[in-house]
Structure 1
Amino acid sequence: MSENTPMLPGFEPPARDNSEPGYVETETAKQIDKLREMGYIQDHHAGQVALAIVTARQIDRLEGKGAASGQANLSRALKEVFEMLPMPEAATGDTFEAAVRAILAEAEEETTR
């Protein structure tokens, strides 16, 4: 619906208090805090961190306003900001490789007995 067309009764989005951070902004801040605590985000990432927070805030403010394409574009932008920030390496590859090595070592040990 547009700004000029009222929503059907009972389908109006809940009024949102923009003075408090929304869900996306809150979770973005948590992720940034955790990455900072782990040492991945440093002071020289301040611009990217600010961009992530501002973008998350805009996503929250568009919620329920019928701006799906705007939300999608901002979500893509937020994803790209996080892709620019240093992240921990996924441990799944290392864990998988370690498990395979252990299985192979055990199998080799059994064949040499």
Structure 2
Amino acid sequence: MTDEMNPQTGEFPPVLPGFEQGSTKKGEPGFVEAATLRMINKLEADGWITAHHAGPCALAIVTARRVDSSEGRGAPSGQANLLRAMKEIFELLPAPENASSDALDKALEFMTATEPAPVEGTPA
């Protein structure tokens, strides 16, 4: 028996009590998927995500959905691999806090690397 959703009915196969699907209601995103969607929407609204980020965004949403649906099911090693994949996908998305500190570092490096112009009337 598989734990994959039936694409024709949109339903998961029956499971034993205690092993039910983790999302709240059918058709609603689970906790991880909802948080991922909020993050992507915020990054898009702030201009950090553009059309060329569509692939990593889709992967992040699909992986988050998979994390939600596999909650409490499957082997721990499978869960660990899925979470590792999700972490790697998130690393593909822009990180504004890293970008802003990189820009500041570059500006500071430029300001400290250039020698000030000599001022007339002062010894060299």
2:39 corresponds to 1:31: yes
**CA–CA distance in structure 2, aligned partners of residues 15 and 86 of structure 1:** 31
1:61 alignment counterpart: 69
**CA–CA distance in structure 1, aligned partners of residues 21 and 89 of structure 2:** 29
Shift of 1:68: 2.2
More relative contact order, 1 or 2 (CA 8 Å, 6+ apart) = 1
Long gaps (5+) in structure 1: 95-113
2:92 corresponds to 1:84: yes
Give the aligned length.
Answer: 86
Structure 1 vs Structure 2 CA RMSD: 2.7
Long gaps (5+) in structure 2: 4-15, 105-124
Q: Check the 8 A contact 2:21/2:71 in 1, yes or no.
A: no
Give matches, 1:6-17, under 5 Å.
12-13=18-19, 16=22, 17=25
Q: How has the CA–CA distance of structure 1 residues 20 and 85 changed in structure 2, closer, same or farther, with 3 Å as cutoff?
A: same
2:81 corresponds to 1:73: yes
Shift of 1:57: 0.4
Q: How has the CA–CA distance of structure 1 residues 18 and 79 changed in structure 2, closer, same or farther, with 3 Å as cutoff?
A: farther
Q: Which amino acid aligns with 1:36?
A: E
Cα shift readout 1:9-52 (whole Å, capped 9, x = no counterpart): xxx24554442211000000011111111111101110110000
Cα shift readout 1:30-87 (whole Å, capped 9, x = no counterpart): 1111111111110111011000000000011100214322222111111111111111
SS of equivalent to 2:96: coil
Q: Check the 8 A contact 1:18/1:61 in 2, yes or no.
A: no
**CA–CA distance in structure 1, aligned partners of residues 56 and 19 of structure 2:** 31
The alignment's TM-score, normalised by the length of structure 2, stands at: 0.58
